[in-house]
Amino acid sequence: MTVQDEKQLTALYQMLGKESSPAKLDSKILAMAEANLSDRSDTQMNITNRPTFGRKWRWPLSGLVTVLLVSVIMVHQYFSPLQKIPPHMESAQPASPGFMQMPALIREQDPVESKRQRFSDVEAEAQSAGDVNFHEDMHANKVEIIQNAAQWRIQLQAIDKLLSDGKTEEARTALTKLVSQSPSVAAHLSDRHLQLLDRPR
Amino acid sequence: MQFARSTASHNPTPIQVQSDEQLMLAYGQGEIQAFSQLYAKHKDPLWRFFIRRGMPTDCAEELMQEVWQRVIQSAAHYQANARFTTWLYQIARNLLIDKHRLAHRQFKLVTEHFDDEDCSANEPEQLVQSARQAQMLRKCLAKLPALQLDTFLLKEEAGLKLDQIAQVMDSAVEACKSRMRYAVANLIACLGKHGEKS
pLDDT of residue B108: 44
Q: What is the CATH number of domain B1-106?
A: 1.10.1740.10
Specify whether the CB–CB gap between B198 and B114 falls below 8 A. yes
- Which residue, among B64, B118, B178, would best test binding to A if mutated, counting the most A CBs under 10 Å from its CB? B64
Specify whether the CB–CB gap between B194 and B140 falls below 8 A. yes
Cβ–Cβ contact A126 with B under 8 A: no
pLDDT at B14 over 70: no
> Which range among A63-77, A106-120, A121-135, B104-118 has the greatest average pLDDT?
A63-77
Q: Which of the residue ranges A50-64, A178-192, B100-114, B135-149 would you say has the lowest mean pLDDT? A: B100-114
Q: What is the mean pLDDT of chain A?
A: 75
Cβ–Cβ contact A15 with B under 8 A: yes
Going from N- to C-terminal start, the domains of chain B cover 1-106, 108-198
Question: Which among B36, B44, B137 has CB closest to A13?
Answer: B137
Going from N- to C-terminal start, the domains of chain A cover 62-111, 129-201
Closest by Cα among B89, B114, B103, B94 to B165: B89
How far is residue A104 from each of residues A82, A90, A115, A119, A128, measured CA to CA in Å? 11, 8, 12, 15, 23
DSSP A131-200: HHHHHHHHHHHHHHHHHHHHHHHHHHHHHHHHHHTT-HHHHHHHHHHHHHH-GGGGGG--HHHHHHHHS-
E strand or H helix that includes residue B80: none
Question: Which among A19, A33, A41 has CB closest to B72?
Answer: A33
> CA torsion sign, A179 to A185 to A187 to A189?
negative
pLDDT at A12 over 90: no
Cβ–Cβ contact A5 with B under 8 A: yes
pLDDT of residue A127: 65
Average pLDDT, integer, range B53-77 = 90
Cα angle: A75, vertex A76, A78; to 5 degrees: 60
Average pLDDT, integer, range A173-199 = 81
CB contact under 8 A, A13 and B156: yes
Confidence of residue A74 (pLDDT cuts 50, 70, 90): very high
Confidence of residue A1 (pLDDT cuts 50, 70, 90): low
- Say which DSSP state B19 is in: -
B108-198: CATH architecture? Orthogonal Bundle (1.10)
Closest by Cα among B10, B131, B177 to A20: B10
Specify whether the CB–CB gap between B34 and B48 falls below 8 A. no
Q: Say what percent of chain B tops pLDDT 70.
A: 76
State the amino acid at position A131 in one-letter form.
Answer: D
